[in-house]
Chain A
Amino acid sequence: MANVIETERESKGVLTVESMLPLRFRINRVRKETHDAFTLDLEATDGAAACKFSPGQFNMLYMFGVGEVPISISGNPETPDTLVHTIRAVGPVTKALRTVKRGEFLGIRGPFGSTWPVAEAVGNDVVVVAGGIGLAPLRPAIYQLFAERERYGKIAILYGTRTPADILYRRELEQWRARFDIEVNITVDRATSNWRGNVGVVTNLIPKATFDPYNSTVLVCGPEIMMRFTITALQKRGVPLDHIYVSMERNMKCAVGFCGHCQYGPFFVCKDGPVFSFDRIKDWFYIREL
């Protein structure tokens, strides 16, 4: 009975013991992705419930003795036995996470937050616009789109990053690129003459991508400035604002809308987001320092 009550309370975004209690996960694999990004494959040791997630959601990763950070889930929702997180080492906790080894343990709370509207996009063209590490939170949505490819129109993946060496999931991107039913375009901000791909900002790819702007769902994730320019480019193509979804990043602490650290206008990014329809947040998106 207690579980039922707690589940009801949790669905309303109220702090519960369960939502604050990290479960122990074993690290099964550590992969270096780029000079500052790495991927952890984790396995639950206290029960598998936390592995089930929907694309766009995040977990709180607790490095024992160091601290906790919110990290988007970047694995395949169809294979919940392995929890996958791609992390960029930028702060004290993520830098400490970079030192973990196979067989060690992390605490995990989650999954939390809203999801990419993959099911709602059925019948539409889907455009995925990712910048830098922003490809990681979008990868589960891409897996889900591929799993039911026939239910969608055109799919375009547009990815921009700093240099060729910073390309995330390089091998997978090459595999996706080899498919005939998906358009994959990658661009980098700077490169030397041995690079045969595109150079330029990710927004340059939008006018050339093949999709019907009026019947598309667009998923955008990356640094906020990149998302701002992306939205302008999408508007120029004629994509309605309520067809654009963005993943917002704020200082999330409790992850259940209790502490208020991630307040964004009338929303809590942890509970109401991180994925928002742009139409829903447009009044706050351009307010500086919010």
Chain B
Amino acid sequence: MDTLEPILQEHPFLMGLNPGHIKLIVGCASNMRFDAGQKIFQEGEEANAFYVVRSGKVALEIYAPDRGSLIVETLGAGDILGWSWLIPPYQWHLDARVVELTRLIALDGKCLRKKCEEDHELGYELLKRFASIMEQRLEATRMQLLDLYGERD
């Protein structure tokens, strides 16, 4: 039977993890498919997963009462979606809306949290990888805030 192991072990996010850890992670993984317009998760909901985007496009949105849904960022093939499963209170801070047919691998956050508590080496490896993604997203957000293309004084 085909497993998600070959896909996950070659993904840059998990590359370099020892085979035992990959097996643990694969045990928490499942394939998912969303059509355009569907929500993968919504702000305020419990965050119990993260996702490896295999194809398609996902918009991360914040709803502003007087302005509607504003897209903060879009993610596509190869990107990692979601880190709120890792940090208490395990709640999504954004909506993830599918822009076009999207295929993902969902990783069960509850299952992974338990495994990380039991195996700190796995926990540290995952945290290092998520910290790197957070750093990239923070840097990108700072650049967006700079309003680089706006009118200069």
State the CA gap A201–B146 with chains docked (Å). Answer: 11
Is A204's CB within 8 Å of the partner chain B? yes
Given contacts A131-B148, A132-B149, A199-B72, are A193 and B61 in contact (CB under 8 A)? yes
Q: Which of A36, A189, A191, A192 interacts with B148 by CB under 8 Å?
A: A189
Q: Which residues of B contact A200 (CB under 8 A)?
A: 73-74, 140, 144
Q: Is A203 a contact partner of B140 (Cβ separation < 8 A)?
A: yes
Mark each residue of chain B from 54 to 75: 1 if its CB lies under 8 Å from any CB of chain A, else 0: 0001010100000111111110
Which residue of chain B has the shortest Cβ distance to A232 in the bound complex? B139
Is A75's CB within 8 Å of the partner chain B? no
CB distance from B19 to the nearest CB of A (A): 26
State the CA gap A222–B146 with chains docked (Å). Answer: 14
Is B27's CB within 8 Å of the partner chain A? no
Q: Which residue among B73, B76, B139, B148 has the maximum number of chain A CB atoms within 10 Å of its CB?
A: B148
CB distance from B51 to the nearest CB of A (A): 17
Which residue of chain B has the shortest Cβ distance to A224 in the bound complex? B148
Q: Is B71 a contact partner of A190 (Cβ separation < 8 A)?
A: yes
State the CA gap A161–B69 with chains docked (Å). Answer: 20
Given contacts A193-B69, A196-B100, are A201 and B144 in contact (CB under 8 A)? yes
State the CA gap A195–B78 with chains docked (Å). Answer: 21
Given contacts A203-B143, A208-B78, are A191 and B71 in contact (CB under 8 A)? yes
Is B103's CB within 8 Å of the partner chain A? no
Q: Which residues of A contact B143 (CB under 8 A)?
A: 201, 203, 225-226, 229
State the CA gap A161–B144 with chains docked (Å). Answer: 10
Mark each residue of chain B from 118 to 141: 1 if its CB lies under 8 Å from any CB of chain A, else 0: 000000000000000000000110
By the criterion of a CB under 8 Å from any partner CB, how many residues of chain A are at the interface?
30
Mark each residue of chain A from 205 to 221: 1 if its CB lies under 8 Å from any CB of chain B, else 0: 00010000000000000
CB distance from B104 to the nearest CB of A (A): 17
CB distance from B77 to the nearest CB of A (A): 8
Is B99's CB within 8 Å of the partner chain A? yes
Q: Which of A36, A192, A199, A222 interacts with B151 by CB under 8 Å?
A: A36
Which residue of chain A has the shortest Cβ distance to B139 in the bound complex? A229
Is A162's CB within 8 Å of the partner chain B? yes
Q: Which residues of B contact A162 (CB under 8 A)?
A: 147-150
Interface residues on B, range: 20 to 34
Given contacts A203-B140, A229-B143, are A193 and B71 in contact (CB under 8 A)? yes
Is A10's CB within 8 Å of the partner chain B? no
CB distance from B42 to the nearest CB of A (A): 13
Q: Is B148 a contact partner of A195 (Cβ separation < 8 A)?
A: no
Mark each residue of chain A from 172 to 197: 1 if its CB lies under 8 Å from any CB of chain B, else 0: 00000000000000010111110111
CB distance from B69 to the nearest CB of A (A): 4
Q: Which of B67, B97, B149 interacts with A223 by CB under 8 Å?
A: B149
Which residue of chain B has the shortest Cβ distance to A204 in the bound complex? B140
Q: Which residue among A166, A195, A200, A201 has the maximum number of chain B CB atoms within 10 Å of its CB?
A: A200
Is A198's CB within 8 Å of the partner chain B? yes
Is B152's CB within 8 Å of the partner chain A? yes
Q: Which residues of B contact A197 (CB under 8 A)?
A: 74
Q: Which residues of B contact A223 (CB under 8 A)?
A: 148-149
Mark each residue of chain A from 153 to 172: 1 if its CB lies under 8 Å from any CB of chain B, else 0: 00000001110001000000
Given contacts A200-B74, A203-B143, are A189 and B149 in contact (CB under 8 A)? yes
- A residues within 8 Å of B by Cβ? 36, 90, 131-133, 160-162, 166, 187, 189-193, 195-201, 203-204, 208, 222-223, 225-226, 229
- B residues within 8 Å of A by Cβ? 57, 59, 61, 67-74, 76-78, 97, 99-100, 139-140, 143-144, 146-152
Q: What are 12 of the A-B contact pairs (CB < 8 Å)? A: A36-B151, A132-B148, A162-B147, A189-B148, A192-B69, A193-B69, A196-B100, A199-B73, A201-B140, A203-B140, A203-B143, A208-B76
